[in-house]
Each structure stands twice: as C-alpha cells, then as structure tokens.
C-alpha cells in the first residue's frame, strides 16, 4: 500500500538445534515433498507459553518498510512476556509487554532500536495469542502473520529483481547456535546458485538481509529455496516496486515464506478485470515434474478447472485475466491442487492500476489448510481504508460463520455477522465497517466447518492494498 501510513490501532508497549547435516547447496529434492502447513497456528489455551517469530522489516523511522509487531490475546487471562528485537547489525534489545485478555499490544521496531533491518522474537506466558508484522512507509504498507515455528527449509514462488524492483530475503536465526544456509534460485533464464550464498553463516540470535538483486540481476521471475545445513531459520521476503518500470507497479510486500511444499493452496479472495491483474505463481522445488489443477470458484457461474504442468525446479504462472473460462469482474476464490503427489508452493500477485478504484500491489502466500477458528491481530481505524474479511468454504457442505470482535478487555459478538451461511465450494466477503464501528478491533472468525479466511485492506482515496491470510486458533 502507499502514500502515508496504514494506521493500525495499537497500544504501544512500554519499552523484544541443530538440524541434519547435508550438503544441499544448489541441489533440488529428488523425492516428493510431504505437504506441511505454510504457517503453524496459535498455541492452545492450555499452553504455558507461546513463541512467535516476526521476520524482516526496517527499524529506522525513515525506512521504506518500518515494522510494527501487533500481538493480540484471544484467551481469557492477561499474558506477560517480552519482545526481543534483533537487528542485522548491532545488539539486540528486549522490552517487556503485557497483553490483556481480548486485547492487543503493538511494538514498533524503530522505537526499540535503530537498524536497517530487524526481526522480532515474541515470547508470552500462555496460549491463544497471535502476532502479525505490519510495515509502513512512503512506497506502501504490508501485513503478514508471524511464524510460530522455525524450519530448515523455506520456499518462495514469486520475486523480482528488475530495474524497478528490490527483493530482500530476511533470514532470522532465533536460536543460540549458529546456522549454516544455502540459497538458490529459479528464474526465467534458468537456475542460479550463487557461490557467495552457499554455506552462509547466520549467527545465533541474529539475522541477515540478503539483497537478491546483487546475485540474480534483472530477472522478472525469481523463485527461491533457502535450505539450512545446520540449525533452523525463519525467512521472509521483502519486495518493493518503485513505479519506474514499463508496468508502473508501485508498492511493498512483506511475506513469510513456506516451510514446505504442499498438496493444496487456498486463496479466498480473487478478482480479475477493471484494470486489475491477478496471477497465481506455482513453484515446484523438487526434482520431479509436478502436475497441478487450478480450480476457480466463481461467485456467479462455474468454470472448469485448469490443468498445468510444472517442470522440476521451475515455476509456472497462471494469469487469471487470460483464462477464457474466468469471466472478468466476477469475484472468485482459487484452489491450487497437486494431482500427482509432488508438492508445490503457490503465491498470488494482484496488481491494480487506474481506473481501478482499488489501486496497488499485493503478493500473498496461500493457506495450506482449513480450520474452524481464525483470528486477525491488526484492526483498521482509518475511514479512508476498507477492511474486508473473506471466508472460503472449500468443502462439500454449507457452513455457518460468526464474527467476534476483541475490543480491549471484552469480546463482542458482532451484530449482523452471526450464523451467516457460506455455501459448499463458495465464499463470503464481509466488509467489516458495515457492521463494526471504527476503529475496527481485532476479530475472531468461527465456523461450523473447516474454512480458510483472508483479510484485505484497500485504500479508497490513494494507491494501496494489503492482503494476508489469518492465523488458526
């Protein structure tokens, strides 16, 4: 999103293993990957602690993507803890926090320390808490859920290092031991395995910011594999477009990577037309050919699934606007399924230019599993920003939906958003401002069956959009 900051209702806190040893530099997996969730959910109410890893934003007031960690407590008791901000250069610093029941707290990284880039480790003394990382700056705003677990592998389907683009991989090691990582890329010109990014040391309780364009120059389609030989990591991608390219893309996207390929990816919100271009990028990091099926679930009418073949260690892009089976200007959801047992990674890119009423750019990793209770930490108080929650029901039976607002120290069942029906293989978009008085608080979406829920923010009078999946409770 862009022009100014995306205001988020925050209570600012008073003043943040070794894995298997294998030489995987530049070598794709030769066996089908087992599908795992792209993001772990929140710890249960019975948990004695929660940990979240929020990776890779700017920590200086003049940054293009200044980060704020937003923490919401969906539980029944207040939780104490700390946020440790870890810079790419310099010493880390911790601040105490206390999050009331049904309340939230925000910690702006630049208020804790000053650094070009920083990550945050969030530790709390109970469960049913979640964290999101938002970024704000002159070129746009973004939002992504934080990770509740680390991994020895991370994958990104999309990325660009063209003249108008800056792509930075934020590699966070939250553990005491040093980690050793290999970075490799797949582009429209073939594979790239930079020697300088093989055996990269990531210090314990430290982070690295890797500018991809320094190693893979002037590429419009960059997919990424980060593999750790020793230790576990959390990796996010910061992508910035400055609007000077042949296609005047302008915006910021911060997105957590996928710790594993998966057999299915869900995207509840979709729209192509009216100067809006929607693309689904499917990356196959394995050494085997993958076959996938893209199912577009239309709000009006039906469309036959589209089959694609994705070669080994390659990416294929499905442009929704170019598919004749998908009518323009009709809302839809998209489900990407691997059909031959080879897991893939899927991301969605949405670009909107004038005369579209919702201009801007968003890059979003899909969800890999459905659930019946989803939550969102950051609320939206700005009348110039529309906040939508979209519920996708991928199953064969209709489900009921109820939305609860977490407003300070109380839970409020939102009038008009109780027992709403979502049809089988259908979706339900909800404009929250039609039902919740501003400022919009954190919300919990609960359903009678497994669904996938996404939150989208659109500026109504300026360039800007931010789109992200929720966190499972």
- Decide if 402 contacts 421 (C-beta within 8 A): no
Give the end of a domain, one of 231, 256, 281: 256
List phi, psi (to 5°) of 212.
-60, -35
Structure tokens that stand for 10 in this block? 């925050």
Q: What is the residue range of 198's domain?
A: 153-256
412 burial class (0-12, 13-18, 19+ CB within 10 angstroms)?
middle
336 lies in the same domain as 384: no
- pLDDT score at 336: 98
414 lies in the same domain as 447: yes
Give the end of a domain, one of 224, 256, 288: 256
- How many other CB atoms sit within 10 Å of the CB of residue 131? 27
348 lies in the same domain as 291: yes
Q: Which residue has the tokens 């970075």?
A: 183
- Sign of the dihedral defined by the CA atoms of residues 171, 222, 246, 458, in that order: negative
Structure tokens that stand for 128 in this block? 């049913």
Q: 34 in a domain, yes or no?
A: no
pLDDT tens-place values along the chain, 473 residues long: 443 444 443 333 333 333 333 333 444 443 333 333 334 699 999 999 999 999 999 999 999 999 999 999 999 999 999 999 999 999 999 999 999 999 999 999 999 999 999 999 999 999 999 999 999 888 878 899 999 999 999 999 999 999 999 999 999 999 999 999 999 999 999 999 999 999 999 999 999 999 999 999 999 999 999 999 999 999 999 999 998 888 778 889 999 999 999 999 999 999 999 889 999 999 999 999 999 999 999 999 999 999 999 999 999 999 999 999 999 999 999 999 999 999 999 999 998 888 887 878 899 999 999 999 999 998 765 777 889 999 999 999 999 999 999 987 789 999 999 999 999 999 999 999 899 877 788 999 999 999 999 999 887 777 678 899 999 99
Give the end of a domain, one of 195, 224, 256: 256
Q: 17 in a domain, yes or no?
A: no
226 lies in the same domain as 247: yes
Q: 304 in a domain, yes or no?
A: yes
Q: How far apart are CA 269 and CA 74, in angstroms?
A: 25
275 lies in the same domain as 313: yes
- pLDDT score at 381: 57
432 burial class (0-12, 13-18, 19+ CB within 10 angstroms)?
buried
381 lies in the same domain as 330: no
- How many other CB atoms sit within 10 Å of the CB of residue 96? 11
Total domain count, the chain: 3
CATH of the domain at 201: 2.60.290.11
243 lies in the same domain as 273: no
358 lies in the same domain as 300: yes
227 lies in the same domain as 213: yes
Using H for helix, E for strand and C for coil, what is the string for the chain?
CCCCCCCCCCCECCCCCCCCCCCCCCCCECCCCCCCCCCCCCCCCCCCCEEEEEEEEEECCCCCCEEEEEEEECCCCCEEEEEEEEECCCCCEEEEEEECCCCEEEEEHHHHCCEEEEEEEEEECCCCEEEEEEEECCCCCEEEECECCCECEEEECCCCCCCCEEEEEEEEECCCCCEEEEEEEEECCEEECCHHHCCEEECCCEEEEEEHHHCCCCCCCEEEEEEEEECCEEEEEEEEEECCCCCCCEEEEEEECECCCECEEEEEEECCECCEEEEEEEEECECCCEEEEEEEEECCCCCCCEEEEECCCEEEEEEHHHCCCCCCCCCEEEEEEECCCCCEEEEEEEEECCCCCCCEEEEEECECCCEEEEEECCCCCCCCEEEEEEEEECCCCCEEEEEEEEECCEEEECCCCCCEEECCCEEEEEEHHHCCCCCCCEEEEEEEEEEEEEEEEEECCCCCEEEEECEEC
Structure tokens that stand for 470 in this block? 């929720």
314 lies in the same domain as 250: no
306 lies in the same domain as 390: no
Q: Which residue has the tokens 């939002």?
A: 143
- pLDDT score at 11: 36
């Amino acid at each position: 999103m862009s022009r100014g900051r995306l205001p988020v209702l925050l209570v600012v806190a008073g003043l943040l293993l070794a894995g298997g040893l294998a030489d995987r530099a530049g070598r794709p997996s030769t066996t089908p990957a087992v599908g795992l969730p792209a993001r772990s959910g929140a710890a249960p109410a019975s948990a004695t602690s929660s940990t979240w890893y929020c990776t890779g934003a700017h920590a200086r007031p003049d940054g293009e993507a200044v980060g704020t960690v937003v923490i919401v407590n969906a539980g029944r008791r207040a939780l104490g803890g700390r946020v440790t901000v870890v810079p790419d250069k310099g010493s880390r610093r911790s601040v105490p926090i206390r999050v009331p029941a049904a309340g939230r707290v925000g910690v702006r990284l630049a208020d804790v320390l000053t650094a070009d880039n920083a990550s945050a480790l969030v530790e709390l003394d109970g469960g049913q808490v979640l964290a999101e990382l938002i970024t704000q700056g002159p070129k746009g705003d973004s939002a992504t859920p934080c990770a509740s677990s680390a991994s020895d592998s991370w994958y990104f389907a999309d990325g660009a290092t063209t003249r108008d683009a800056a792509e930075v991989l934020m590699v966070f090691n939250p553990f005491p031991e040093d980690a050793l990582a290999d970075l490799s890329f797949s582009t429209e010109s073939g594979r790239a395995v930079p020697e300088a990014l093989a055996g990269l040391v990531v210090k314990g309780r430290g982070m690295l910011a890797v500018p991809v364009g320094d190693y893979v120059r002037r590429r419009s389609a960059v997919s990424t594999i980060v593999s750790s030989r020793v230790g576990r990591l959390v990796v996010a991608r910061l992508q910035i477009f400055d609007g000077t390219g042949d296609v005047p893309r302008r915006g910021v996207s911060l997105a957590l990577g996928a710790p594993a390929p998966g057999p299915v990816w869900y995207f509840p919100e979709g729209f192509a037309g009216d100067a809006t271009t929607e693309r689904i990028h499917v990356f196959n990091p394995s050494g085997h050919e993958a076959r996938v099926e893209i199912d577009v679930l239309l709000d009006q009418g039906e469309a036959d699934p589209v089959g694609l073949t994705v070669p080994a260690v390659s990416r294929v892009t499905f442009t929704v606007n170019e598919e004749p089976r998908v009518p323009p200007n009709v809302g839809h959801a998209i489900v990407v399924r691997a059909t031959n047992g080879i897991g893939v990674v899927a991301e969605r890119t949405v670009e909107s230019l004038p005369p579209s009423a919702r201009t801007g750019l968003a890059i979003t990793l899909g969800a890999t599993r459905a659930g019946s209770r989803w939550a969102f930490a950051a609320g939206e108080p700005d009348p110039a920003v529309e906040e939508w929650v979209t519920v996708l029901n991928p199953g064969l039976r209709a489900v009921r939906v109820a939305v609860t607002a977490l407003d300070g120290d109380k839970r409020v069942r939102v009038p008009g958003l109780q027992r709403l029906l979502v049809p089988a293989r259908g979706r339900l978009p909800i404009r929250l401002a039609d039902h919740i008085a501003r400022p919009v608080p954190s919300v919990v979406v609960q359903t009678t069956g497994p669904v996938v829920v996404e939150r989208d923010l659109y500026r109504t009078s300026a360039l800007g959009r931010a789109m992200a999946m929720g966190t499972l409770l």
